[in-house]
Amino acid sequence: MPQATPPRSAKEQARLDAALTEVFEKLITFNQVLGLKVLSVTPGDVRGRIDMRPELVGHYTYGRLHGGVISSVLDAMAGLALMVAIGHRHGGEDTQQVMHRFARMGTIDLRVDFLRQGLGRHFIATAEVTRLGGRVGSTQMRLVNDEGLLIATGSAAYVVS
């Protein structure tokens, strides 16, 4: 039986969490355009938030969130959930080693189901990893508005090696 990977120290985990947040909020500039903010990078609890702004409106008459914004947010959160899961899987590696693993990651399939109009003051997106293989990772995502109404769901697959 293979040896279990030892967990990283709390200090190193805090460094990794900060690095993931920095990449997600600052280095992926499209996430800046979306105004996406990380709320949690805990395995099993990956969450982000966007505030409604005029730049994100898709239908000028109704002030609804653009479908492309919804898709992009769900895609981004799924990628973050996979980053968190990969980091957790490789608990014996330091932050630099784990961050190097993300260089070749990319979306290979994305499906979004739009369930309600994108109305709200802000939106919370969550993502969960349903399978993390050696080459491909799969996810499920949800987007709710500030009242907790489910706006959209998604599923996606990513190359992770």
| Topology annotation, domain 10-159 | Thiol Ester Dehydrase; Chain A (3.10.129)
The 3-class secondary structure across the chain, one letter per residue, is CCCCCCCCCHHHHHHHHHHHHHHHHHHCHHHHHHCCEEEEEECCEEEEEEECCHHHEEECCCCEECHHHHHHHHHHHHHHHHHHHHHHHCCCCCHHHHHHCCCCCEEEEEEEEECCCCCCCEEEEEEEEEEECCCEEEEEEEEEECCCCEEEEEEEEEECC
Contact 152, 74 (CB under 8 A): yes
Q: In the prediction, which pLDDT does 138 show?
A: 98
Q: In the prediction, which pLDDT does 4 show?
A: 47
Domain spans of the chain? 10-159
Contact 26, 32 (CB under 8 A): yes
pLDDT in tens, the chain (161 residues): 344 466 889 999 999 999 999 999 999 999 999 999 999 999 999 999 999 999 999 988 889 999 999 999 999 999 999 999 999 999 999 999 999 999 889 999 999 999 999 999 999 999 999 999 999 999 999 999 999 999 999 999 999 98
Q: In the prediction, which pLDDT does 111 show?
A: 98
Q: In the prediction, which pLDDT does 5 show?
A: 63
> Distance (Å, rounded) from C-alpha 47 to C-alpha 78?
10
Nearest one of 109, 99, 37, 44 to 71, comparing CA atoms: 109
For 124-140, the pLDDT digits (tens) are 999 999 999 999 999 99
